[in-house]
Amino acid sequence: MKLIRWSLAMGAGLLLIIPGIWWWRWRWLEHSQDRVIQAAARRYGMDPALVKAVVWKESRFNPKVVGKAGEIGLMQLMDPAAQEWAEAEHVYPLADEGLFSPATNTMAGTWYLRKVMQRYRRVDDPVPFALAEYNAGRGNVLKWAVGAAATNSEAFVRTIGFPSTRDYVRSIQRRRDRYRGDFPK
């Protein structure tokens, strides 16, 4: 009988410990790329909380992840965007394995995100437009940005034709708000 009680107590203890370990690991992982994110954001004049939210959505902070379409690393960069950054920064040609480097990938991805955001200077908030383009491409954004949605970010988000892209934009914006405290000014 004592063995059964001991076994039950140990099992209950493990049920309490395992979630705690998982939570601790996630909190560590969630902050594992903060330095490279902050460096890239500072270099390109971007909000580090936004960059971190994109990294979270794209890779969950795993620098070795490869997407189904060949996207690489923390910010899930495609080769053409990475090579464009490499040329602009005079580090061309960029080897594919370079995109697995958290610092390189985050620099290139942040540069690209800033470039995309600059296309939407005449809107009330360029972030949703840039995120939609980062996810679904410029051609789709141009199709969705008509009428009031051409300059109003809330109207634009409602007109996004792909539910997955609409969710992508909204989830990154929510996560950005959560990460603002991680990067004091």
pLDDT at 12 over 80: no
The pLDDT value recorded for residue 132 is 98
Per-residue model confidence (pLDDT) at position 185 = 72
Q: Report the chain's mean pLDDT, rounded to a whole number.
A: 89
Predicted local distance difference test score (pLDDT) of residue 174: 97
What share of the chain has pLDDT > 70, as a percent?
A: 84
Residue whose entry in the numeric block shows the structure tokens 């996810």: 135
User: Does residue 57 sit in the same domain as residue 82?
Assistant: yes
Please give the residue range of the domain that contains residue 20: 1-31
pLDDT in tens, 17-29: 556 554 445 565 7
Q: Model confidence over 43-87: pLDDT tens digits?
A: 999 999 999 999 999 999 999 999 999 999 999 999 899 999 999
User: How far is residue 169 from each of residues 65, 136, 156, measured CA to CA in Å?
Assistant: 21, 10, 11
One-letter amino acid for residue 36 of the chain: V
Q: Are 132 and 161 in contact (CB under 8 A)?
A: no
Residues with a catalytic annotation lie at 58
The total number of structural domains in the chain stands at 2
Say which CATH number the domain at 136 has.
Answer: 1.10.530.10
Does 23 share its domain with 47? Answer: no
Across 25-48, average pLDDT = 89
pLDDT at 3: 59
Same domain for 177 and 122: yes
User: What was the pLDDT predicted at 93?
Assistant: 76
Region 144-154: mean pLDDT is: 97
Give the integer Cα–Cα distance in Å for 24 and 18.
10
Tell me the Cα Rg of the chain.
Answer: 20
